[in-house]
Amino acid sequence: MRIMRQVLDETDRRIAAALVAAPRASWREVARCLGLSERTVVRRVALLYADGTLRATAVRNPARFSHLIPVALRIRCRPNKIRQVAQALARRPDTVWVDILGGGDEISTIFFLEGPEARNNLLLRDLPATDAVGSWTAHTLLRVFPTAFRWTAGLLSPAELDELVPDPAQPTASAPSYAPVDVDTALIAGLTEDGRATYTDLARRAGTTALTARRRLEALLDSQALRLATELDLALLGAQTEALLWISVRPGALQEAARPLSAHPHVRFCAATTGLANLVVAVAAENLDALYTFLTDAVGPLEAVTAIDTTPLLATVKRTGLIRH
């Protein structure tokens, strides 16, 4: 069994942060960005991936797959059963995130459900049949703001970050349209298992050529149909405090409020949703004082915000589709 690191030195942390921002960046690109030798980067990342400290994967964008229904659930459970429920949710292939929240009796999870029948089965059959579940609220994700995916725990300067990955288009809907082809299903499956798989390996899996695999991957990324991700324990990068913010914003000002929040260095995820809280924000900060400062200085001045529910995370069970060790 692989043993994940409990601590990283400054060089490893900066390399990991670069790979969070640019999961398929070449070792040469990472070395040039960070001012390191390529040999140093290769040696260190090999160890980080080998022991499972870093894992590379890919996540579909439901906005580009019309059959997918993205739903965020807040599930209230009996505290003595919450870990079992969280683990059962994490084992489901349609969950992307599973977190145990600060009160010890609530789980937050994001589902990518395969159509209305899957959604109805979850909400009308599976959850009601689970004795440990008391109640839940469901929020459909309407739009994800991609700027939040540039989070690096402050370990990269703005210039370094811009060198690795350009600032994404703010509204997801502005990306080029996605026209699927037959090989995409196999490519996406291969990238989900290993986000850094070589084009040769992807081509072998999809029954095509390496050149075609590369072109299709570029099409998937350019159209924002697919997001590559590097998964790790954020505490290794100095983010000791994670929280979910369920924010109520006046509908006419939703875009205006989401834009600065999604670009904030502490924000890892930002999406407009249905429900009483119509904006959900995932924050990863150095400590509780940094979270307080974010609430007062970043959220506080937004006049369109009418209410906020801040829920710290106790434990992460699944992230970007990968179960935590």
Q: Is 114 a member of any domain?
A: yes
160 & 66 share domain: no
Q: Is 286 a member of any domain?
A: yes
Can you tell me the distance from the alpha carbon of 110 to that of 125, in angstroms, rounded to the nearest whole number?
18
94 & 131 share domain: yes
Q: Is 308 a member of any domain?
A: yes
Strand partners, 322: 319
CB 206 within 8 A of CB 186: yes
Find the CATH number of the domain harbouring 251.
3.30.70.920
> How big is the chain, counted in residues?
325
261 & 242 share domain: yes
Looking up tokens 């996605």, which residue turns up? 178
Question: Residue 171 has what pLDDT?
Answer: 42
Question: Residue 173 has what pLDDT?
Answer: 45
Question: Residue 178 has what pLDDT?
Answer: 83
What string of pLDDT tens digits covers the 325 residues of the chain?
566 778 899 999 999 999 999 999 999 999 999 999 999 999 999 999 999 999 999 999 999 998 999 999 999 999 999 999 999 999 999 999 999 999 889 999 999 999 999 999 999 999 999 999 999 999 999 999 988 888 999 999 999 999 998 765 444 445 677 888 899 999 999 999 999 999 999 999 999 999 999 999 999 999 999 999 999 999 999 999 999 999 999 999 999 999 999 999 999 999 999 999 999 999 999 999 999 999 999 999 999 999 999 999 999 999 999 999 7
Can you tell me the distance from the alpha carbon of 84 to that of 26, in angstroms, rounded to the nearest whole number?
39
83 & 155 share domain: no
pTM for this model (two decimals): 0.91
Q: Residue 295 contacts by C-beta under 8 Å, 6 or more apart in sequence?
A: 245, 308, 310
299 & 156 share domain: yes
Counting the structural domains of the chain, the total is 2
DSSP H or E run through 210: helix 210-222
For residue 45, is it left (φ>0), alpha (ψ between -120 and 50) or beta? alpha
- Supply the range of the domain harboring residue 135: 62-141
Residue 191: is it exposed, middle or buried by C-beta count within 10 angstroms (0-12/13-18/19+)? buried
Structure-block tokens of residue 212? 């075609």
Structure-block tokens of residue 170? 């703010």
116 & 250 share domain: no
Strand partners, 230: 56
